[in-house]
Chains A and B, each alone.
Chain A
Amino acid sequence: MSDLDYPAGLRYTAEHEWVRADGEVLRVGITSFAQEALGDVVYVSLPAVGDTVAAGDTCGEVESTKSVSDLYAPVSGEVTAVNGALDATPELVNSDPYGEGWMYEIRPADAGAADALLDVDAYTSQLS
């Protein structure tokens, strides 16, 4: 695991998703650990813009050659954007999980919702 990275400025969930605050919205993706465990990602199914989700809801799927994982909404709110590039190039999730491989953006119902998620130390300590 030593070559996988977990940026310090992000928030994380126990389901191996990351959340980055970007103005009023939160950008969501899956962590290095998650993409490494899945292997080559071949399909990403995302929520629709405008969907309202509750924290913990299943709101999409990430599928690799060998397995499939659900995406869970990290906080409650409304989906404001999705990464359409993943339709044609799902491998971005493997090559750049915190950048070009982002999944969707959500406007949280509670502006401080992300603060309750794990910080990098809390997340990485549960990986071992």
Chain B
Amino acid sequence: MPTMTDLLHSPIHDRHVALGAKMADFGGWSMPIEYPGGGVVAEHTAVRERVGIFDVSHLGKARVSGPGAADFVNRCLTNDLRRIGPGRAQYTMCCTETGGVVDDLIQYLRSDDDVFLIPNAANTARVVELLAAAAPEGLVVENLHDRYGVIAVQGPSSDAVLRRLGLPVDHDYMSFVETEWEGLPVIVCRTGYTGERGYEIVPPWEVAGSVWDELVAAVSGHGGLPCGLGARDTLRTEMGYPLHGNDLSLDITPVMAGAAWAVGWDKPAFWGKDALTAERAAKQSRLMRGLVASGRGIPRSHCEVKDAAGTVVGEVTSGTFSPTRKQGIALALLDRSVTLGDEVVVDVRGREVPATVSKPPFVEVGVRER
């Protein structure tokens, strides 16, 4: 466990400290959990009802460029880049040959010869290492972790906030526009991890602070808040979005995690294809389901899940309090004998919390709205 002084700092770190944010270690980076005057519930609600901004500069940035870069990435990562065109982004995974998930990431297709990647903080070096080792002559794989910041603007008022900054808005879900900020190139992508309409802005490291400052001013005019990674976690859990390390891992495959939609099964090759194809056909592995606690209590990761007879049928991978529903919600890997609507019991530190098996998302949201 590194001490706080060993942790990496985002380009916006000094702003968080000045705001009095509670900071914590996220993948080796010291990042804000919540801000004074906000708190997880208020920040969560701001995003669902108005708008919130998140510094997620701990996320990795990497680039694969050179002749045939997109084809190369498409032979490695799970999703099918041929399903999208330039200017579009796509959720994908980097798997091992045995089907475990090294990381889940967003790939931005700039052209056939240029793919920008946003992996998770703790896995960026490994993803870059694997791609670099596999890359043919002529392709360049760069780790750009400390060359860009990433700021997410999320919530129904996101467009108004970006307009105040003169940034492009209203492009399609999962598409991006490249523009400029203080004369430097900035990517504005219609993506996020909250389920709300929103954008992720990728500015060069040196101007991330000035983008943040203007966003702080802009959101305050719309009842918005700077939001920490605590709210980001409750928001993503309400959507059933997986978090690598909890709901996806070297032991939790895309088949188990319900992420088969992000696998290009028809592609000639991607890492893990044989193992995942066999696992998918065997229909034996546990599956990711949602749980809604019907009693008091919050399921937490690693809590055992039991059926009515008391037999262990699975394990919680992520659990939290849903600020929107005001009850405990969870993602859990469950045996295939358990089906939607079943009543189960979660062992929460020795206390039995009843829960209903359900299909996420746990809330109604407008992420794809035009």
Contacts and interface: CB of A to CB of B under 8 A. Distances in A.
A68 B321 contact: no
Nearest to B24: A66
A43 B321 contact: yes
Given A42-B321, A42-B326, A66-B230, 16 more contacts: A39-B34, A39-B40, A40-B41, A42-B298, A43-B321, A61-B349, A63-B321, A64-B321, A65-B41, A65-B321, A65-B323, A66-B320, A68-B298, A68-B300, A91-B41, A94-B39
Interface residues of A, number: 13
Interface in A60-76: 61, 63-66, 68
Interface in B23-72: 33-34, 39-42
A61 B279 CA distance: 41
A63 B40 contact: no
Interface string A84-107: 000000010010000000000000
Interface of B: 22, 33-34, 39-42, 230, 233-234, 296-298, 300, 320-321, 323, 326, 349
B232 to A, nearest CB: 11
Nearest to B300: A68
B298 A39 contact: no
A39 B39 contact: yes
Nearest to A91: B41
Contacts of A66: 33, 40, 230, 233, 320
A65 B232 CA distance: 12
11 contacts: A39-B33, A40-B39, A40-B42, A43-B296, A45-B296, A61-B349, A64-B321, A65-B230, A65-B323, A66-B233, A66-B320
A61 B300 CA distance: 14
A86 B41 CA distance: 17
Contact of B320 (A45, A61, A65, A94): A65
B58 to A, nearest CB: 17
A40 B297 CA distance: 15
A43 B297 contact: yes
Residue of A45, A65, A91 ringed by the most chain B CB atoms within 10 A: A65
A68 to B, nearest CB: 7
A63 B41 CA distance: 13
A45 B348 CA distance: 13
Residue of A40, A45, A63, A68 ringed by the most chain B CB atoms within 10 A: A40
Nearest to A42: B321
Contacts of B230: 39, 65-66
Contacts of A40: 39-42
Contacts of A43: 296-298, 321
A94 B36 CA distance: 12
Given A39-B34, A42-B321, A65 B296 contact: no
